[in-house]
Structure 1
Amino acid sequence: MEFAKRMDRFGEGIFSKLAEIKRQKLKRGEEVIDLSIGAPNIPPAAHITEALCKAAADPKNYVYAISDRNELLDAVSGWYMKRYGVALDPDREICSLLGSQEGLAHIALTMVDEGDIVLVPDPCYPVFGDGPQIAGANLYYMPQKKENGYIIRLDGIPEDVAEKAKLMVVSYPNNPTTAMAPDSFYEELIAFASKHDIIVLHDNAYSDLVFDGRTCGSFLRFPGAREVGVEFNSLSKTYGLAGARIGFCLGNEEVVSRIKLLKSNMDYGMFLPIQAAAIAAITGDQSCVHTTMKAYETRRNIMCDGFTGIGWKMERPAATMFVWAGIPEKFKSSEEFVMALVEKAGVMVTPGSAFGPSGEGYVRLALVQDEEMLNKAIRAVDASSILK
């Protein structure tokens, strides 16, 4: 058999390797505390699951959705106005996604051709680069350095690269570094994209998981943003709907129309009961959003303070459901440390190298276990003596 050469760009993902290690340890009867994958374990609020169950019980809802229902589009438009102060045309500036991951994997197919340049953060969520590579693009990494607060320095992108680039992916609050960008960055971003005729894709999945009284808005609230790009948003973390796969592409009418056209040739739309759950989530009682944020904030405090207390220094992140931490000096690579950690302590985290070249020397820990399990993980690492 012969296969597509484009797949030669991809090796076995680190999450697949970690899953196999976890499977083997569990098979041997050993416990694994998994802090690697950002799979939320906080369920949706009752009014959301009730809407889903009610719609799922209706036999009429098992037809092809084909497209987004007007009720969903109107709900999303209202949500963006109420939550972010951004007015969106329901018919022309909103498109649902079967989760942000699906949109991130496919949207480059509508924008780039073989050999085109796409700008992606480094480190970054892997699909930011994987999607463009599936479309045949060449990646240019925009470093997110600690000394710059993990904020991309747009003036560091060579002029010739900027002129050739067609798409750039940006995301704050950031996965994996957890950084939040100041307003000045977005103003510079819009000017940069406008000057070089680059489409901006801003991923805003963590705008409600911000801590210590901080707030976060939308890229689209800045003047000129809608002229240069779109924003992706998700209900996965905020509303506990990760498995339901609910995301949205919002903003520039031309970009939205192209992703709608692509999706019309790839899928039959979002399952109607899932649309009902999405409507209930963004139009119903929003106290669940604050409750979820506080739960992650508490977990953050336990994890960072606990590991710092046993000698693994971790700064409290300002946002997201992750912690970005440097590896102990005695280890040569993040993957070496991750493998030793799961072997000796039974605690699984993700090596920073999985997120791009600049991720080396770090690991990402996900706040996806309850308080008891986090404390257990801290005790296990301490008892393993891996930090000594």
Structure 2
Amino acid sequence: MISLEDARSIVLDGHVPLSSETVPLLESLGLVLAKDIISCCNVPAFVNSAMDGYALNSSDTKEPGTRLQIAGITYAGMPPGETLMPGTCQRIMTGAPIPKGSDAVCIQELTHQASSVCETVVIEAVVSKGDNVRQIGEDISEGSVLFEKNTKVTSTHIGVLASIGIGKVEVIRRPIVGVLSTGDELSEIGDPSLDGKIWDSNRYSLIAALKEIGAEPVDLGLIKDDLHALREHITEAGRKCDLILTSGGASVGDADFISEIIADLCGSSAKWMKVMVKPGKPLAYGILSNSSTPILGLPGNPVAALISFRMFARPLIRKLMGIEPQIIPTWTGIADEDFPRHIDGKLHIDRARVAFDDQGELRVSRSTKQGSHQLSAMAYSNALIYLEDGIGIKVGDRVKIELLDWESIE
């Protein structure tokens, strides 16, 4: 048996981020910058109005009630108007460049027209120099390091990059991850005759999980328990993938060939581990000798496959993407019931629902179905409970949880 931490170290050690590539700006979402982004311009690039109102010279408004002649109007996207003369102002809209001769903007709420026919406005307040004016480069200055290498690109980063005219960025490329299911007991979706078999769900849930974290999944299909066919399929997949995930065949059954194949194809890097976690004890790992592609053999039970994905595949993929392979953050909540367990030396990871109480505390209830084959309970859950080795947790005690879905917490 091996601890979760030691097993994770075996999987992660020695791996480095993948090579970089230049992609269109929108395709960089969720990826990591391969180099610093240096701003090529100032933002704003010109002095402009922060509000709708009147551009004026503050020296003309030494007391409330000053009347100024309206010299014109400027909208966003137009060039600045002519230079203002003393005693004049210019109607201006948000984002429009302020004209020469002005140094401030009075918001329209602090003005009124002197008359319905006269092009004169009354400034109801004393305006100070710089009021409601955006200066050149006050957001971004030309030549500054806008975003550093290894920054993960979010929607906000994309907006900022677009604001300085950048349409392509160099990023660590998305990992290509092949997903393979194995087992004579599995049938493809659409097969009308199950005849004692079950439809393959692991391949679909793992491919979806890969999409959620920004990897590029490749469906390697469903292969029966055929040692030669599996060996050839995995060897070929290693030539086009950055990582291979298999589900099923990683345990000790007579037809569980994945560990044998990994030992054969990976040489000294091959590891077959019994991880001290439930569900998710069997785990096979290695690096294919012909392609240097890592392979993870996940359990075949659906819940165990997904939990092993979160424990091992997810941090490895993050590392390949140049993202810190952090341990999944955990929180604490208050047990709404007893969470009994038996002493077996393992970390138990149970499915649960959490909700906020009136005091803002997270209350935790364990799902009724905890079998590693009962995938519906995983779908209904919005958290996982971490129960360390022992006799469990009593109602009212604090329990460690991992949140699966923030938006579903009520």
* TM-score normalised by L of structure 1: 0.28
Quick check: which one's strand share is greater? 2
Tell which structure's C-alpha radius of gyration is larger. 2
**Structure (1 or 2) with the greater helix fraction:** 1
Which structure exhibits the higher relative contact order, with contacts defined as CA atoms closer than 8 Å and separated by 6 or more residues? 1
TM-score scaled by length of structure 2: 0.26
